[in-house]
Amino acid sequence: MISFDAGAQAPAAPGRVQPLYFAAWRWHFYAGLYVIPFLLMLASSGLVILWFTTIAPEYGDRIPVAPGVALPLAAQEAAVLAAHPGEIDKYIAPYDDRTPAIFRVQDNEGATMVALNPVTGAVLRMRPELGTWNAWATNLHGKLLTGKDGGWADYMIETAASLGLLLVVTGFWMAWPRGKEGFSAMFVPDLRAKGRAFWKSTHRVAGSWIGLILLTFLISGLAWAGVWGGKFVQAWNTFPAEKFGAPLSDKTHASLNATQAKEVPWTLELTPLPMSGSTVGVQVLPEGTPVVLETVVALARAIGFDGRMQVTAPADDTGVWTISRDSMSYDSPDPTSDRTVHVDQYTGKVLADVRFADYPAGGKAMAVGIALHEGQLGLWDIAFNFAFCLLVIFLCLGSVVMWWLRRPARALRLAAPPVPADLPFSRGALLVVLAMSLAFPVLGITLVAIMALDQLVLRAVPPLKRLVS
């Protein structure tokens, strides 16, 4: 494994395992210096997002209502506009007959989400679309409160996620049983241990249990990042718009993401939207039927949409009505039931009908992975995500405790793990590092930068070398 020396030397030891162990530990330590603050932020904001999306949705999606015969949609729209004048551009159908309908109303002040009792027409809750804890936590989680995709925040998070992959791989290398140890040491903590030995055992066990899940979550997050996601995997797994058979807009599906939250399926984000105004499409509504919210919802029910779904109005003269149900938008606990349909705003013809089965392999993997990541697969998944976030926080804080107990007393230095000068060549470790660097370019660039800093800066500036060693 490629490594660098910050001044401290490991005790001499025969064989290859101990020197390579120290090298892995050193990389693990340096990756952690950058990654731990981000992991703490991601896990903490993830807990907030999980709470306000699955347990207590802030728009009022789960407010209980008495079942009954729902008012016609036109009457529901009138009740919403009477309470909050503006233009309705989105309708979210109730989960069932015991939950509200949600309408998004646009006015000069922005977007407001209105929860309506569909039986009585009573407004149950009104909240600005962006004025929620979930919106704030989502902005922090993916954009460091910048409110926009790309830029420095995106690169910082992608660097953290890329180094997080290195953290997991080196962590598994160090946790792997050696000598007379059994695999139980990886998965059962030694509660009899004291001091740093106790923290090391619990850190090892917690990391072993959640390491593969953390790896999965990091990769799914990277799939949205600007370099690895935007330039590589998302572009390769984008649904081909040519299958629509309709004229294409210069807008993509990503334009339907109105808030900090991602609502459009990952595989469709870069796909252009079809345009209204042509003669193509499949006629479902009787010809001459006015194409308004009520008839579009009737169309959706006629072609198989049931339960909760979302209907978005055309954004302009060439825009389309969009009917969607996907787990990313908390519509369904089953990502394989994802479906997006576009309807011509003039003729009512169906221009596109994209289902989970139509996604490329990467799109299918992301749909399932995101549902798992967001706690959308049921109560067990919510509990799993809460436990996972808490364990990530425990790992981060435990690593700080271990460093504090290991560092030299009253020494103002980082005390990085030492690496022996005679580190043996390991073809396997080198191949792993090269493969990860090629697969994740930001990781490779970061590793080169770290090695250059060590070799060119730390060696040339003794005070900095002492601070690190």
pLDDT tens figures, 222-238: 998 889 988 889 988 99
**Statement: residue 413 has pLDDT above 90:** no
Residue 426 has pLDDT above 80, yes or no: no
Closest CA to 216 of 33, 392, 355: 392
Per the DSSP assignment, residues forming a β-bridge with 311 are 91, 323
- How large is the average pLDDT for residues 311-333? 94
- Asked if residue 109 has pLDDT above 60, the reply is yes
Check residue 451 and give its pLDDT.
76
Mean pLDDT of 185-202: 92
Overall average pLDDT of the 374-400 stretch = 95
Band (pLDDT 50/70/90 cuts) for residue 14 is very low
- The answer to whether the beta carbons of residues 309 and 326 sit under 8 Å apart is no
pLDDT at residue number 291:
96
* pLDDT-based confidence at residue 9 (cuts at 50, 70, 90): very low
Q: What is the pLDDT of residue 8?
A: 35
Rounded CA-CA distance 130/457 in Å is: 45
Give me the DSSP letters along 91-152: EE--SSTTS-EEEEEEETTEEEEEEE-TTT--EEEEEETT-SHHHHHHHHHHHTT--SSSHH
pLDDT tens-digit profile of 246-283? Answer: 999 999 999 998 766 788 999 999 999 999 999 999 99
Distance of CA 64 to the CA centre of its chain: 29
339-385 pLDDT, tens digit per residue, is 999 999 999 999 999 999 999 999 999 999 999 999 999 999 999 99
pLDDT at 328 over 80: yes
Output the furthest CA–CA distance in the chain (Å, rounded): 86
Average pLDDT (448-455) is: 78
Torsion from C-alpha of 22, 26, 29, 33, nearest 10 degrees: 170
326: which 2 tokens? 């996907």
pLDDT of residue 422: 66
How far is Cα 183 from Cα 82, in angstroms, rounded to an integer?
65
Alpha-carbon distance 248 to 240, whole Å?
11
pLDDT at 231: 86
The confidence band for 218, taking pLDDT boundaries of 50, 70 and 90, is very high
Report the alpha-carbon distance of residue 252 to residue 234 in Å, rounded.
13
pLDDT at site 207: 94
CB 356 within 8 A of CB 335: yes
Q: What is the mean pLDDT of residues 5-18?
A: 43
128 pLDDT higher than 70: yes
Q: What is the pLDDT of residue 420?
A: 61
Of all residues in the chain, what percent carry a pLDDT higher than 90? 69
Q: Judge whether residue 4 has pLDDT over 50.
A: no
Q: Provide CATH 3.10.450.40 ranges for the chain.
A: 73-131
- Range of weakest confidence among 189-203, 317-331, 340-354, 408-422: 408-422
Percent of the chain at pLDDT exceeding 70 = 91
How is the beta sheet containing 87-92 ordered, strand by strand?
Answer: 123-128, 110-116, 101-107, 87-92, 310-312, 320-325, 339-344, 350-355
In the prediction, which pLDDT does 272 show?
Answer: 96
User: How many angstroms separate the CA atoms of 22 and 16, rounded?
Assistant: 10
Residue 104 pLDDT exceeds 70: yes
pLDDT-derived band at 170, boundaries 50, 70, 90? very high
The 10s digit of each residue's pLDDT in 38-87 is 999 999 999 999 999 999 999 999 999 999 999 999 999 999 999 999 99
Is 70 exceeded by the pLDDT of residue 122?
Answer: yes
Distance CA 295, CA 380 (A): 37
pLDDT for position 339: 97
CATH code, residues 73-131: 3.10.450.40
